[in-house]
Structure 1
Amino acid sequence: MTGKVFLIGAGPGDPDLLTVKALRLIESADVVVYDRLVSPEIMALVPAGTRRISVGKEAGNHSVPQERINALLVELAREGLTVARLKGGDPLIFGRGSEEAEELAAARVSYAYVPGITSAQGAAASTGVPLTHRGLATGVRYVTGHRAEDGALDLDWASLANPDTTLVVYMGAGNIAEIAARLIAHGLPYDTPVLAVASATTPRERRTASTLAQIAADIAASPMPAPVLFMIGRTAGLYATAGLPLPSAKGPHLRIVAANG
């Protein structure tokens, strides 16, 4: 019999932010196929005897090409295995979940999506910076700051330079100088607040508060380890008053077990 692949959002890193369904599938899967951005705290929840396969990718270094990952998921399912495909954040937001689903569907392999808290939501909660706020931002947009094979950033800069919107840039650390310059050139004020957040919600979280004109210099002077998220807009200016501390390491995670009888 053919198995099934679950395309699971592992969230931004804090294991307490996993959904109940995601945790159940992680604990019951035959094999876990995981990305580089899945935190060690999440991986610690995988049972000791479960097979693990790392398919991590980073900019300029795809240790396992996407085509091979697609084929691997099909192969594992055809062995009759239940596969937990773990992705940082949400599988349908810059996670290539739909690309893998297309391959599974073409091979007639059963699959299902399990949503996760995306990095933008995790960073917002961790830092206290809202993605929308009455009088400051009437909307939020998620964009990628990196193109495949280092292609040109052909984004709609005119529409992105909207002062009434919070702009969240994923994977933009390497191109933040160009991103900032383009936004300023298309009318976004140079003093627009920017908050860069690395490894959001984990004990390794780092933050840099800056402005659109200064953020590239600040990141160059004090590089932040990936993954880095940039929150750009007037809402980012609320960070100074949010007062939320950096996350700290936590003890063992609780399990709720129903008593018999």
Structure 2
Amino acid sequence: MVLIWLLVFSLLHSSGQGRLRRDAGGRGGVYEHLGGAPRRRKLYCATKYHLQIPPSGRVGGSLENSVYSILEITAVEVGIVAIKGLFSGRYLAMNKRGRLYASEYYNAECEFVERLHELGYNTYASRLYRTAPSGAGARHKASAERLWYVSINGKGRPRRGFKTRRTQKSSLFLPRVLDGKDHEMVRLFHTSVRYRESLRKPADKSERKRRQGRSPVLEAGRGPALPEVPSVSRQPLPGHSDPPSA
């Protein structure tokens, strides 16, 4: 009888652990910020834009299937994550003015508080900056602090942190798993040095003018051109390094 109860207890415990690491919408990985390997995801905003981190440093949203929207979400502490653009090698960051930018190096402005919203979305708030409560008795009203969220408006532009709210559509993101085409681009990225370096080089003025209003799109069977360019030096996230190049 004792053995039966032990077996039942072990089954319940293992099933509970499985639920802990699943996402409410079947997307998977929302609770993996409690520990584990970096998650490769696309962050799809409720305003219908994918968050993208290009090598130019200008964070924004893309309606297209951009290679720069493939992200690595890495836990730095429980509930605290760093978000890196896999193809640009830059980290999502928010400065003291509430502006989002893509940092070449990992720093304290690259840390975000990841939370699961009651509607099933994720929110990402700056760990470093927030609006402090003001007025009489403000010191005793910690709950009155307003967090600054990662936010993409209806035109695909980032909103300043102090203008955001957790209930706004622009602050809600669905972590989407990569599809087959995305995985193929990731494989090419890791196996081709020239391809990797071409994606991490910011376009010059003539190239930007030619591509104005367009994003690198994952087209079947081909990717962006592969010019020979020097490597970009950057500082990896502590405890996490890029895979060796071929």
TM range (shorter): under 0.3
TM-score when scaled to structure 1? 0.24
TM-score when scaled to structure 2? 0.25
Query: In proportion to residue count, which structure has more helix?
Result: 1
